[in-house]
Amino acid sequence: MNDIKQFLRSNALRPTKQRIVIAGYLFDGTDKHVTAESLSTELTKRKHIISLATVYNTLHDFYENGLLKKLTLSADRVYFDTNTDDHHHFYSEKEQFLIDINKNIKVNGLPKTPKNKKINKIEVIVHLDK
């Protein structure tokens, strides 16, 4: 609890009740993939009434501060990943199936980066169904 406050403060985030609850859930040591909706549902299940707007705000605040990774898996919702290490994913849209690939994947044969641009990140998505 105080570690969480400290953790939030050290990331320039005021430790509000809501952020403490959400951070406590997200950063409990196990990697998680959440959407605003799934997180909201989980919080409700745990009797934490936090508005959906705040869930969105908090996910973005955490993301902006590098505490979450944003995943581009399908066009109909945004996923956030508590594992911020460089890694990739197996994904099944149909089954909402999503697992980390932590192995060191190597992408070989990339052409030159376009002029005056630099690579921010390389995302590999292994789609398991259409």
**Binders of its own copies: how many residues, by CB under 8 A?**
37
Residues that bind DNA (CB under 7 A): 9, 13-19, 35-37, 49-54, 56-58, 60-61, 75-78
What does 13 interact with, of its own copies, DNA, none (CB < 5 to 8 A by kind)?
DNA
Provide the terminal-to-terminal Cα distance of the chain, rounded to the nearest Å. Answer: 43
What type of residue is 5?
K
What does 49 interact with, of DNA, its own copies, none (CB < 5 to 8 A by kind)?
DNA
Minimum CB–partner distance for residue 4 and DNA (Å) = 12
Q: Which residue has the tokens 């994947």?
A: 105
Nearest residue (CB) to DNA, 64 versus 105: 64
What does 50 interact with, of its own copies, DNA, none (CB < 5 to 8 A by kind)?
DNA
What is the spatial distance between Cα 1 and Cα 64, in angstroms, rounded to a whole number?
22
SS3 state at 26 = helix
What is the spatial distance between Cα 120 and Cα 42, in angstroms, rounded to a whole number?
32
